A and B are shown apart, each in its own frame.
With several copies, the nearest count.
Chain A
Amino acid sequence: MLAVQERPASQLKPVVNNFTFQAATINGTGSQSSNLVITRALFAMGIPVAPKNVFPSNIEGLPTWFNIRISPEGYQCLAGAADVLLALNPATWQRDVLGVRSGGAVIHEANYPVAGPTKRDDISYYAVPFHKLGRDNIDNADLRKYLSNMIYVGSVAWALEIPLDEIEGALRQQFKRKPSAVELNMTSVRLGWDYCVEHYTKTDPFRVRPMSGRVEGKMLLEGNQALALGVLMGGCTVAAWYPITPSSSVCEYLETFANRYRVDPKTGEKRMAIIQAEDELAAVGIAVGAGWAGARAMTSTSGPGISLMAEFTGLAYFAEIPLVICDVQRMGPSTGLPTRTAQGDISFAHTLSHGDTKHPLLLPATVEEAYEFGQAAFDLAERLQGPVFVMSDLDLGMNLWMSDPFKYPETPYDRGKVLTAEDLERLKGDWGRYRDVDGDGIPFRTLPGTNHPAAAYFTRGTGHDEDARYSELPEVWERVLERIGKKYETARDLVPPAIVEDHGHDVAILAYGTSHHAVVEARDAMAARGLETDYIRVRALPFTEDALRFVRSHKRVYVVDQNRDRQLFSILRLELKPEEDHLISVRHFDGTPISAVAVMGPILVAEGKASADEFTQAPPVPVVTAGIE
């Protein structure tokens, strides 16, 4: 929830490169391009940006908010409330104005009423007749809707003091393939800029200045893009998916990459099959079939798709077939909020399917990890012979993030324990598909097509013995199921280890995935208030031994979950002895990206460093839902 916090407002002392800009618009009107231009211009000035798009689940006409957090530290999380608001949605006008932090500024469509609750004396107002400016000045009727949005780019640039040539530079990047569009757009930008220059003197403190040392050489890209690139680099050759927000773009980006990098220029043949399946049951079935036949195969989906993939995941678990499932989490249960973020599928994915199951999860927090884990998932799945989940979320997947360029992989793929015809010859055919030869719980397999008379075995989801023969014998069943369980233990040494900052403090924070960015800021803020904390970022399930040791060695461990039911917290508790259990749960689950306040509020209060009042939020104003249904 957006917290409205008091802030020592100063009309005079400038606040440079350290505030949140929010554009409140209506979706489907083309405002997304405008927001990207502002983002890119800031980024080009050397200023760290953290753009967060909070958009509705429809195509046109509902409220959407685009937030750009800028901070010298490069914090990547949402900062709670906006300092500078661009208000272009009458439906949310009142809510948006009341959400602005004291001392802030509002750039708004001139015909919105500034009266009653929307008339605040602690913020600055810059009314701009966007509508009229567009109507009067943009002749091209086809483009008017789109270009009108560029007008506000000009006004925002004026308010934030972004030089116009930075805007032009950003436009040039946006229109790499169509440079002629730049000037057309700039004409609209100037309309908004000129209007403000003519009518206003800046009275609020928020402004930007070029800076250096933070973003040079950094990329700006989405988590789904990074994940798709990881999947490509990871050698995936069969991908099957069914469209669903927010995961669709994983396979869409993958297709773009595959068209670019997997097509044989001579023959036109493509070294990858990407199948848009008829539903999620088929998507995961295709991935399982391909994994069985020896391809690196994956499917990507979100919550409802995970539910539908439950049966096949159990088959892959019990028949021991490599399978990568990318879950870009959105807010559930049920259809929920398809365009809002959550970490709500952790426990469901962890034991997906009926009967006893337990699957490794990878928990990326950054685009770089999305890229890395997109690759690692295949190594793990083929090594462990079973399902592996990459648990991304909407925040990571669909927002732009700053990152250093990714590393080109230096290691070969780990294709796991596969016996070739030559191996079989050497073994004189003496092998068993489900024998635990190495003591790590992982058996050997052969691939269909292996030209050796001993290669074939029969795969089934029913009971089978070590030699893959059908069996209903009690002792065989128990033995096989225990052995499969052993692989989860083996996985502890194979998954990406936790990242630990241990300075021997009593209090520690344990977080995973996108909560990381809020924790980074929260720790700085808490340290500033005298509460030093240690930190462990868990990057996978099962927990590694290191992670458990860290937890055991701290007096109080705050576990941050972006879900209602303390999902990772609960999984962790079950791995600890009662006497080792000093866990305290911190939760956030309203669909917005988690902020530092959501992390540090509960911790400071619990640690006696703040009163509960400090973090009590003013009740937000409901949106007037007329027309929204």
Chain B
Amino acid sequence: MIDTPQRPAPAANLNRVQLTRDAYKGAATTLCAGCGHNAITNHIVRAFWEYGVEPHKLAKMSGIGCSSKAPTYFVSQSHGFNGVHGRMPSLSTGAKLANRELMVVGVSGDGDTASIGLGQYAHLIRRNLNMVYICENNGVYGLTKGQFSATADIGSVQKGGKPNEFETIDVCGMAIELGASFVARSFSGDSKQVVPLLKAALSHGGTAILDIISPCVTFNDHAGSTKSYAYVKEHDIELQDLDFIPYFENIEVDYPEGTSTEVTLHDGSHLRLRKIAPDAHDPTDRIAAMTLIHEARQKGEFVTGLLYINPDMKDLCERENLPQRPLRDFAEADLRPSREQFDALMRDYVG
């Protein structure tokens, strides 16, 4: 059985919902030591703690793969669902429709997303379901021992020496092409970038895609791989320095004129993007984002940071006109037409 955890006495290290960082941890990881996925788990723990996610409102969703095991390793006081391979988006859609109050966070892998799951990934984006979608991208199927996935770069070499013959499927490029409302890329080793992006994703009111390059130390961390720690560190082009200013904190920081822009997120939080290069990328410009991604890919580079955002796009529940109250909570009287209405309908069908 699950132990009833004690809420600790208030102390300095409590967040706004009175929880310690430890409350955001999960079971001990069973992934390989050094796996990028473990680092991402830590970023999630920190971001969720800092953001003050309420564990009982969180639904942790995943498909199948090493990456998809991650939800067991954070926030053990939340319900989680490790579904079937490549179908996390549909499960998440159902869960969110059933209970709009849930904060849905999905973790997937590159095989789970770009191979078997590509169709659901695309249609999730099309519906703009309000959820955080994390793709822990290592270019291989970790759990089945290292075959190439569809995000492997052309020419990248498998552990056995076999080169990949096919173009990569760029989950960010796809997302932007499909009209996604929030698209970011990062690297598991870059906590400074991943943590604010995660918080921004929580604040976003639609599908927030986070493609996080997350090296597989066991099967794809060798020379010749374009998803190894060494390669990624060398080819990571950071777009911005990111500061997340939550809606519930009143932080005023002055930035020198012209060095940063700010995006207001759906829940009232702000994401401040500090320029690294003078001709900074405008993440509200879809075509610019696509161009950026393509040019970087041609050079064998990763551009990381917030690639694209449109904070105003309606999410699925809005499009479906659902009440704020969870659908699962409505009872007979709310769901059945009245006896009078019913009888009138019956009469309609008579003769």
A106 within 8 Å of B (CB atoms):
no
A429 with B4, Cβ < 8 A, contacts A242-B116, A278-B118 known: yes
Q: Is the CB of A294 within 8 A of B98?
A: yes
Q: Select the stretch in B243-251, B252-260, B300-308, B329-337 that faces chain A.
A: B329-337
Question: A459 touches which one: B5, B80, B118 (CB < 8 A)?
Answer: B80
Tell me, in angstroms, the Cα distance from A431 to B1 when the chains sit together. Answer: 6
Q: Is the interface of A mostly helix, strand, loop or mixed?
A: loop
B97 within 8 Å of A (CB atoms):
yes
Q: Is the CB of B322 within 8 A of A273?
A: yes
Q: Is the CB of B123 within 8 A of A44?
A: no
Interface residues of B in 78-115 (CB under 8 A from A): 78-87, 89-99, 101-102, 111, 115
A462 within 8 Å of B (CB atoms):
yes
Q: Is the CB of B144 within 8 A of A429?
A: no
Shortest Cβ distance from residue A218 to the other chain B in the assembled complex, whole angstroms: 7
A626 with B94, Cβ < 8 A, contacts A237-B327, A335-B64 known: no
Q: Is the CB of B94 within 8 A of A269?
A: no
Tell me, in angstroms, the Cα distance from A285 to B92 when the chains sit together. Answer: 8
Shortest Cβ distance from residue B112 to the other chain A in the assembled complex, whole angstroms: 10
Interface residues of B in 150-200 (CB under 8 A from A): 150
Q: Which residues of B contact A429 (CB under 8 A)?
A: 1-4
Shortest Cβ distance from residue B215 to the other chain A in the assembled complex, whole angstroms: 14
Interface residues of A in 473-511 (CB under 8 A from B): none
Q: Which residues of B contact A294 (CB under 8 A)?
A: 98-99, 326, 328-329
Nearest-CB residue, chain B, relative to A628? B30
Q: Is the CB of A219 within 8 A of B349?
A: yes
Q: Is the CB of B349 within 8 A of A221?
A: yes
Nearest-CB residue, chain B, relative to A226? B349
Tell me, in angstroms, the Cα distance from A284 to B87 when the chains sit together. Answer: 10
Q: Which residues of B contact A409 (CB under 8 A)?
A: 332, 336
Shortest Cβ distance from residue A329 to the other chain B in the assembled complex, whole angstroms: 16
A182 within 8 Å of B (CB atoms):
no
Q: Is the CB of A289 within 8 A of B336?
A: no
Q: Is the CB of B3 within 8 A of A273?
A: no
Q: Is the CB of A233 within 8 A of B97?
A: no
Q: Is the CB of A456 within 8 A of B93?
A: no
Q: Is the CB of B150 within 8 A of A278?
A: yes
Question: B84 touches which one: A40, A173, A304 (CB < 8 A)?
Answer: A304
Q: Is the interface of B mostly helix, strand, loop or mixed?
A: mixed
A279 within 8 Å of B (CB atoms):
yes
Give a binary string over B290-328; 1 marks a CB under 8 Å from any A CB, 0 the rest.
000000000000000000000000000100111100111
A293 with B95, Cβ < 8 A, contacts A219-B349, A270-B322, A281-B87 known: yes
Give a binary string over B52-94; 1 marks a CB under 8 Å from any A CB, 0 the rest.
0001110101001010010111001111111111110111111
Give a binary string over A403-425; 1 marks a CB under 8 Å from any B CB, 0 the rest.
00110110011000000000000
Q: Is the CB of B115 within 8 A of A297?
A: no
A467 within 8 Å of B (CB atoms):
yes
Q: Is the CB of B102 within 8 A of A448?
A: yes
Shortest Cβ distance from residue A50 to the other chain B in the assembled complex, whole angstroms: 16
A240 with B94, Cβ < 8 A, contacts A453-B77, A459-B80 known: yes
Give a binary string over B27-60; 1 marks a CB under 8 Å from any A CB, 0 the rest.
1101111000000000000000000000111010
A627 within 8 Å of B (CB atoms):
yes
Q: Which residues of B contact A192 (CB under 8 A)?
A: none
Q: Which residues of A contact B142 (CB under 8 A)?
A: 59
Q: Select the stretch in B202-210, B233-241, B279-287, B340-348 that faces chain A.
A: B340-348
Tell me, in angstroms, the Cα distance from A79 to B253 when the chains sit together. Answer: 71
Question: A282 touches which one: B61, B64, B89 (CB < 8 A)?
Answer: B89
Q: Which residues of A contact B345 (CB under 8 A)?
A: 229
Question: A261 touches which one: B218, B317, B341 (CB < 8 A)?
Answer: B341
Q: Is the CB of B90 within 8 A of A277?
A: yes
A203 within 8 Å of B (CB atoms):
no
Q: Which residues of A contact B61 (CB under 8 A)?
A: 289
Q: Select the stretch in A12-20, A243-251, A512-520, A607-615 that faces chain B.
A: A243-251
Q: Is the CB of A237 within 8 A of B79?
A: no
Shortest Cβ distance from residue A84 to the other chain B in the assembled complex, whole angstroms: 23
Interface centre among B56, B59, B115, B142 (most CB of A within 10 A): B56
Provide 6 A-B residue pairs closer than 8 Å at the C-beta atoms, listed in order of the A residue: A219-B349, A221-B349, A235-B335, A248-B144, A448-B99, A627-B28
Given contacts A287-B94, A315-B83, A448-B95, 15 further A-B contacts (CB under 8 A): A59-B218, A60-B218, A218-B351, A271-B323, A273-B317, A281-B120, A289-B95, A290-B97, A304-B84, A429-B4, A449-B56, A449-B99, A455-B79, A459-B82, A629-B69
> Which 8 pairs from chain A and chain B are nearest by CB?
A289-B94, A285-B90, A629-B27, A295-B98, A219-B349, A290-B94, A294-B328, A293-B98
What residues of chain B have their CB less than 8 Å away from a CB belonging to chain A?
1-5, 7, 26-28, 30-33, 55-57, 59, 61, 64, 66, 69, 71-73, 76-87, 89-99, 101-102, 111, 115-116, 118-120, 122-123, 127, 141-145, 147-148, 150, 218, 317, 320-323, 326-332, 334-337, 339, 341-343, 345-347, 349-351
